[in-house]
């Protein structure tokens, strides 16, 4: 599918001309991930028309790849019996996610229609907080008894894996009470002598997570140890499920989005269900954006009141006011660069508190160097434009000081927040930008007033 | 390892007191990923002392988890023969990465010392661009002939997987010229009747990448299809290697960092080898930051020249100047929020050009609503502070217009850039912030001059 736009055009043409058979053939020939991509570009009606043309297995696979809102939309639009049948073909964690997105009474209807075992497993999954291991894990795990021989274990796997749609990365060794005792990779199992006992080849040094561990923590463990799957246990070490790397991929994307939004002064944890800022309710989107803007408002009124003390300066030499956006703009930009480098460095682990001083020194040198270059440029341009060398020099010095200070504030603040155990991204963008504005303007106005007005 | 700081203190104490045996025991008891974490917090000397206490297998595992610069540091500090031995224990792609980080003559020395087969495989890997499939793949792939029976295939895997340290996700079916013909998941292999031929159970519908495909493209395919591993082929469909999800994880982190840096006006593709902005050369770090600052400088001088036309306004009513940072600050912040929502939405696939109008309308409503709230607040505060209702109303109206315009510019620009096939992150931050400054100031100064000075 090299060109999705052509594909969409083609599909829409087939729908319009009622070329049913051809539509069915062409759609079913695509990979389910491609069909999901196509669906996202169609109207709701076109989507439904196409969905009903899919073979049932393919339809269930496509559901898996769709974003939550489209899953709910399509399942709501089709016949209820077909919808239940499709849901029962999804992996447990996906089925729970889909049902979790629906209204309470709607999901109850489906749960009542699903096969009993599947339904009760899903009901259990739905009891966990969706941001914890319990909420993202799949409860179907490939287990063998730790007393089995390798040969028996392989036979067990053959039967179990065929019967249930389960992920096959590791085999977990449990006792008869389902306590997690060890883990064997499929590779070890396949390459071990068949008469050995599982307890002889299993690794007992198991990295595992608790059902109520938060997803950020789980992602960190995956990133650090680079596993394909992690077992999830309860307080008593009963094996409850596994979290696989594709679940983690979604978490990482979500956490990255949170980090980026937080840095831009968008609140991401309103604790609302309707947490999608691009498609959710407008009231929610506004609530997420107002808090830091409000704090900026307070900060900037502070800047206004400082600036207002220099009214005699503006009256005497109004060009002074004209330079304020230049200073604020460049200070803000270089400060943002420093903040971004620090916050991202902390989140990838490249910057730690231990080497904080090193980074502060390094950024200061960078700030002084760039400040010097831009100070000089500003001096020259201002001199050429206003034919006033003294003004040029003062504005240039203010610019260079301003950029240096902005770099230092931008570097130190995230480190200080981290030290205080506050998420450095939280207060980064708007607060630092405002601080830089206030400090930069104060330095500039003091300098110009002192040297140009008073002298 | 619940508290890394305590662990570090403990390790440092053991080094200082020369408690060699205890240090050896305690270190080797940690997981290799934990040891790598500890090493990053130690000084170079402490690191070397600890590294020499590790068992050789463990030492090779730890190398894998270390960042590139520490890999090179440690291997350079230890005995050359030991270093070659450790390198030969790394997976092929890791070994190639480590050697690729070294100076040419240094890596040659090691390559000459490595076992011949390993060394020639690494030499081939080193010929690929490190940002392409060839540069990140591991060349050791589990293949079976497509004519084999399931039983023979399982036996082959047992022997091959034991002999070489290879990843086991899928088994690739090839002909005698190593052309990729099909893929079989381990699960299918284990659960299929043993007398079937591989060609009967393999999937022929293979998603694969080319050796010279760029890493961003590979990451997109992984994210879309959610595979564990992808085969890499050359132009003639010869199987050259596989890329696994843990390689992709590193790519995704790198691409996210690029996206975040680019949005903050930091240039990420200087095409320099020394591309680490936090630890690389200072000259490089400065070069990465200056270009967008320079463009901001030009933009802000434009703002200065517009503002300077209102010198009579500042002379007549200097408080007008004092409000400029307030307007620029809030316009900049709300504009940044909109840009961030759009750019991130595009990179996660939530925002597409097709629904561009929908997002523009939505953000406009948000901008008008927030603009109204803040305009009102500013009116009230200004009125209360300056006892001048007319000034308050004008500043409030300017604020509300300014915020609305900033939202619209912040929403449209990334969409337009995307339409023009320019990376929307590239010009986002600094350029839009400057545009918002210029437009916002022009609106404000026109309004105040018209209503407060001329009337």
Asked if B431 contacts B295 with a C-beta cutoff of 8 angstroms, the reply is yes
Identify the burial level of B322 via C-beta atoms within 10 angstroms of its C-beta, where 0-12 means exposed, 13-18 middle and 19 or more buried: buried
pLDDT score of B273:
46
- List, for residues A106-142, the tens digit of each pLDDT value: 888 888 888 888 888 888 888 888 889 998 898 878 8
pLDDT score of A129:
86
- Closest Cβ opposite residue A318 in set B289, B311, B330: B311
Q: Which residues of B404-431 are buried (b: 16+ CB within 10 A; e: fewer)?
A: bbbbbbbbbbbbebbeeeebbbbbbbbb
* Cβ <8 Å between B314 and A318: yes
pLDDT score of A454:
66
Q: Can you list the alpha helix ranges (DSSP code H) found in B137-191?
A: 150-163, 186-191
Separation between Cα atoms, residue A15 and residue A47, nearest integer Å: 10
pLDDT score of B179:
94
Q: Please determine, for residue A70, whether its predicted confidence score (pLDDT) is greater than 90.
A: no
Asked if B69 contacts B57 with a C-beta cutoff of 8 angstroms, the reply is no
Identify the burial level of A315 via C-beta atoms within 10 angstroms of its C-beta, where 0-12 means exposed, 13-18 middle and 19 or more buried: middle
Separation between Cα atoms, residue B296 and residue B328, nearest integer Å: 14
* Cβ <8 Å between B321 and A324: yes
pLDDT score of A275:
53
Rounded to two decimals, what is the model's pTM?
0.78
pLDDT score of B371:
94
Mutation pick from A337, A347, A414, A428 vs chain B, by most beta carbons of B within 10 Å, is A337
pLDDT score of A399:
93
Instruction: Write out chain B residues lying below 8 Å of A305, CB-based.
Output: 322
- Closest Cβ opposite residue A308 in set B187, B278, B322: B322
Reading chain B (455 residues) residue by residue, the pLDDT tens digits are 556 778 888 888 888 888 888 999 988 888 888 898 888 888 888 899 999 999 988 999 899 888 888 888 898 888 888 888 899 888 888 888 888 888 888 888 888 888 888 888 888 888 888 889 998 898 878 888 999 998 898 888 888 777 666 667 788 999 999 999 999 988 888 888 888 999 999 999 888 999 999 988 898 888 888 788 899 999 999 999 999 887 888 888 888 888 888 888 888 876 554 457 777 788 888 888 888 889 889 988 888 888 888 888 888 888 888 898 899 889 988 998 898 889 888 887 778 887 888 889 999 999 999 999 999 999 999 999 888 898 899 999 999 999 999 999 999 999 998 888 888 776 667 778 888 888 999 999 999 888 877 65
Mutation pick from A223, A278, A299 vs chain B, by most beta carbons of B within 10 Å, is A278
Q: By C-alpha distance, which of B341, B354, B448 is closest to B401?
A: B448
pLDDT, average across residues A40-62: 89
- Closest Cβ opposite residue A286 in set B319, B354, B370: B370
Residue in B with minimal Cα distance to A435: B329
- Reported for A172-177, long-range contacts at CB under 8 A and 24+ positions apart, including other chains, are A172/A141, A172/A142, A172/A143, A172/A144, A172/A231, A172/A239, A172/A242, A173/A143, A173/A144, A173/A145, A173/A146, A173/A198, A173/A199, A173/A202, A174/A143, A174/A144, A174/A145, A174/A146, A174/A239, A175/A145, A175/A146, A176/A145, A177/A238
Contacts with B72 (C-beta within 8 Å, 6 or more apart), sequence order? B98, B101, B102
Percentage of chain A beyond pLDDT 90 is 24
Separation between Cα atoms, residue A246 and residue A54, nearest integer Å: 25
Asked if A192 contacts B18 with a C-beta cutoff of 8 angstroms, the reply is no
Radius of gyration of chain B (CA): 30
Separation between Cα atoms, residue B315 and residue B312, nearest integer Å: 5
- List, for residues A301-316, the tens digit of each pLDDT value: 888 888 888 888 888 8
Residue in A with minimal Cα distance to B382: A301
Separation between Cα atoms, residue A304 and residue B444, nearest integer Å: 15
A227's tokens: 């596993």
Percentage of chain A beyond pLDDT 70 is 96
Asked if B270 contacts A288 with a C-beta cutoff of 8 angstroms, the reply is no
H or E segment to which residue B209 belongs:
strand B209-210
Identify the burial level of B294 via C-beta atoms within 10 angstroms of its C-beta, where 0-12 means exposed, 13-18 middle and 19 or more buried: middle
Q: Give the gap in angstroms from C-alpha A82 to the nearest C-alpha of chain B.
A: 25
Q: Give the gap in angstroms from C-alpha A239 to the nearest C-alpha of chain B.
A: 22
Contacts with A63 (C-beta within 8 Å, 6 or more apart), sequence order? A71, A74, A75, A86, A90, A94, A98
pLDDT score of A212:
92
Compare B348 and A173 and report the one with higher pLDDT: A173
pLDDT score of B248:
84
Instruction: Write out chain A residues lying below 8 Å of B441, CB-based.
Output: 325
A274: confidence class by pLDDT, cuts 50, 70, 90: very low
Number of CB atoms found within 10 A of residue A321's CB: 28
- Closest Cβ opposite residue A187 in set B168, B246, B341: B168
Separation between Cα atoms, residue A338 and residue B293, nearest integer Å: 13
Give me the residue label for tokens 């933009």.
B299
Separation between Cα atoms, residue B195 and residue B174, nearest integer Å: 19
Q: Give the gap in angstroms from C-alpha A29 to the nearest C-alpha of chain B.
A: 10
A210: confidence class by pLDDT, cuts 50, 70, 90: very high
pLDDT, average across residues A362-372: 93
Q: Please determine, for residue A166, whether its predicted confidence score (pLDDT) is greater than 70.
A: no
* Cβ <8 Å between A300 and B429: no
Q: Give the gap in angstroms from C-alpha A264 to the nearest C-alpha of chain B.
A: 6
Q: By C-alpha distance, which of A227, A211, B226 is closest to A219?
A: A227
Q: Can you list the alpha helix ranges (DSSP code H) found in B202-309?
A: 215-225, 245-263, 282-308
Separation between Cα atoms, residue B383 and residue B403, nearest integer Å: 20
Instruction: Say whether A179 sits in a helix, a strand or coil.
Output: strand
pLDDT score of A256:
85
pLDDT, average across residues A186-200: 87
Q: In what order do the strands lie in the sheet with A239-244?
A: A209-210, A229-233, A239-244
- List, for residues B399-445, the tens digit of each pLDDT value: 999 999 999 999 999 999 888 888 877 666 777 888 888 899 999 99
- Closest Cβ opposite residue B307 in set A260, A322, A437: A322
B350's tokens: 């939530």
Asked if B244 contacts B229 with a C-beta cutoff of 8 angstroms, the reply is yes
Q: Which residues of B355-388 are buried (b: 16+ CB within 10 A; e: fewer)?
A: bbeebbebbbebbbbbbebbbebbbebbbeebee
Asked if B219 contacts B252 with a C-beta cutoff of 8 angstroms, the reply is yes
Prediction ipTM score = 0.77
Task: Give the β-pairing of B229-233 and B209-210.
Answer: parallel
């Amino acid at each position: 599918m090299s060109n999705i736009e052509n594909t969409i055009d083609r599909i829409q043409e087939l729908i319009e001309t009622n070329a049913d058979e051809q539509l069915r053939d062409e759609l079913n020939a695509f990979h389910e991930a491609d069909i999901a991509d196509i669906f996202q570009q169609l109207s709701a009606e076109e989507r439904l028309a196409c969905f009903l043309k899919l073979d049932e297995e393919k339809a269930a696979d496509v559901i898996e790849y769709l974003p939550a809102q489209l899953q709910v939309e399509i399942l709501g639009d089709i016949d209820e019996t077909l919808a239940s049948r499709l849901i029962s073909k999804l992996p447990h964690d996906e089925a729970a996610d889909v049902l979790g997105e629906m209204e309470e009474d709607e999901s109850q209807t489906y749960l009542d229609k699903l096969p009993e075992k599947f339904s009760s497993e899903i009901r259990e999954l739905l009891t966990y907080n969706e941001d914890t291991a319990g909420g993202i894990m799949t409860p179907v795990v490939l287990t063998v008894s730790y007393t089995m021989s390798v040969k028996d274990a392989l036979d067990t796997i053959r039967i179990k894996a065929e019967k249930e749609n389960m992920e096959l990365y590791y085999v977990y060794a449990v006792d008869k009470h389902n306590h997690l005792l060890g883990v064997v990779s499929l590779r070890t199992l396949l390459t071990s002598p068949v008469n050995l006992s599982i307890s002889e080849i299993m690794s007992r040094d198991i990295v595992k997570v608790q059902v109520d561990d938060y997803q950020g923590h789980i992602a960190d463990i995956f990133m650090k140890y680079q596993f394909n799957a992690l077992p999830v246990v309860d307080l008593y070490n009963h094996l409850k499920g596994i979290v696989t790397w594709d679940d983690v991929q979604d978490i990482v994307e979500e956490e990255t989005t949170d980090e980026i939004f937080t840095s831009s002064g968008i609140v991401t944890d309103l604790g609302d269900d309707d947490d999608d800022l691009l498609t959710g309710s407008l009231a929610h989107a506004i609530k997420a954006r107002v808090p830091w803007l409000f704090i900026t408002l307070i900060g900037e009124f502070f800047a206004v009141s400082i600036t207002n003390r220099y009214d005699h300066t503006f009256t005497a030499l109004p060009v002074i006011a004209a330079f304020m956006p230049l200073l604020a703009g460049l200070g803000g930009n270089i400060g943002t660069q420093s903040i971004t480098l620090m916050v991202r460095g902390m989140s990838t682990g490249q910057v730690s508190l231990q080497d904080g001083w090193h980074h502060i020194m390094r950024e200061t040198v960078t700030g002084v160097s760039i400040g010097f270059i831009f100070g000089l440029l500003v001096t020259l341009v201002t001199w050429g434009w206003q034919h006033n060398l003294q003004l040029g020099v003062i504005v240039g010095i203010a610019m260079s000081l301003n950029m240096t200070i902005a770099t230092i504030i931008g570097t130190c603040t995230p480190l200080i927040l981290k030290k205080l155990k506050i998420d450095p991204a939280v207060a980064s963008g708007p607060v630092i930008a405002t601080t830089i504005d206030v400090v930069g303007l104060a330095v500039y106005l003091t300098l110009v007033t002192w040297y140009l007005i008073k002298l």
